[in-house]
Amino acid sequence: MLSLFVAVPLVLVLIAGHTAIRGGHPTDEELTARFLSRESDFQALVHRLDSDRGRLPPGTESVDLADLVQAGADRARMGDYEALLTRIGATNFRYFPASGNLIVLVSNPGDPRATTRESYLYLGREEPQPLLHPRAYASHGPAVYFAPADHRIKGRWFVHRDGPVVGAFAPY
């Protein structure tokens, strides 16, 4: 009986915590639908960044929107990047010129410049990507797991969530 008094509040706290963390963040299905409706804009962002790679100083590990200004992108080019990000519904990006990998940070609905934990991930080369799905942990017993949650949308594009908390409880 005592275990019920401990287990029920724990479950409620974990559910409330998960809901608070998620907040108004879009679901994977919403992110996938957004990608598919704006796929050409996502591809344009990749092509534009690849073409601007030569403007970056040698050995640059990664860049975001602000770094492109320092690399000499003119006002019109920056306007193009900002327009693409707005159409995509993204806050910023992190581009890795050596690999061509790109992380596109996603905004909350209604606030196109808010920071969230969700992102799109583009792999510059086809390479093995460990894909973990939180539901895969349910069979491992009661625990809280921290794991990346990536799932492929199309081609080299993924929905990526940084460090989601997953509560798995064995049925009684």
Q: What integer is the mean pLDDT of 149-157?
A: 87
When the pLDDT of each residue in the chain is averaged and rounded to a whole number, the result is: 75
Q: What integer is the mean pLDDT of 84-97?
A: 93
- Better pLDDT: 161 or 116: 161
User: Is residue 13 very low, low, confident or very high in pLDDT (cuts 50, 70, 90)?
Assistant: very low
- Better pLDDT: 49 or 172: 49
- Helices (H), strands (E): how many in the chain? 5, 7
Q: What integer is the mean pLDDT of 131-146?
A: 52
Which residues, at least 6 apart from 106, have a Cβ–Cβ distance to it below 8 Å? 26, 31, 89, 90, 91, 116, 118, 119, 120
- Choose the weakest-confidence range: 53-57, 69-73, 107-111: 107-111
CA distance 81 to 40: 14
Confidence at residue 12, expressed as pLDDT on a 0 to 100 scale? 44
Alpha-carbon separation of residue 142 from 75, 137, 139 (angstroms): 53, 9, 9
Alpha-carbon separation of residue 134 from 48, 110, 126, 144, 163 (angstroms): 34, 27, 24, 11, 10
CB 48 within 8 A of CB 80: yes
SS3 letters for 129-153? CCCCCHHHHHHHCCEEEECCEEEEE
Residue 68 has pLDDT above 60, yes or no: yes
Full-model pTM = 0.67
How are strands ordered across the β-sheet holding 118-122?
A: 90-96, 101-106, 118-122, 157-161, 149-154
- Better pLDDT: 134 or 93: 93
